[in-house]
Amino acid sequence: MYADIIKIDAPSSAAVGDTVIIDVSVKNIDSNDWNIAVTAGYDSTSVPFQFDYLLVSPGQTVIFRGWFTMPSKNVKVTAWSWHWDGSQWVQDDLMTKDIAVAVLTPQVSQFQIADFSKV
């Protein structure tokens, strides 16, 4: 194991149709440079990321930014880290993040009724 997922930063809830941004922080825990990649998804939907892979120095932590459109249900996003061993991508770590559908409540405008009896 060379690419350790440190954390997933993402909102705990989002409204249907919102763009949800997830930042997956990955640390190279080896003493050598490694090409590291991150993949993620929920159900059968893949989450695209800003970078396909990055060359990561020993001890360095990098952030892979991904995004998706919030569906009309709660999701559990699973992220995987990978390293390139020279001939294939090898899975290192995984982490999940639950994201709930935000329930929007209608806002009620408050206004005051003018008291014209004092005019």
Number of domains the chain is built from: 1
83/29 Cα distance (integer angstroms): 11
Is residue 49 within 8 Å of 65, Cβ to Cβ? Answer: yes
What is the reported pTM?
A: 0.85
Structural domain including 78 reads: 3-118
CATH code: domain of residue 83: 2.60.40.10
Give mean pLDDT in consecutive 10-residue pieces for the chain, a chain of 119 residues.
96 97 98 98 97 97 98 98 97 98 71 57
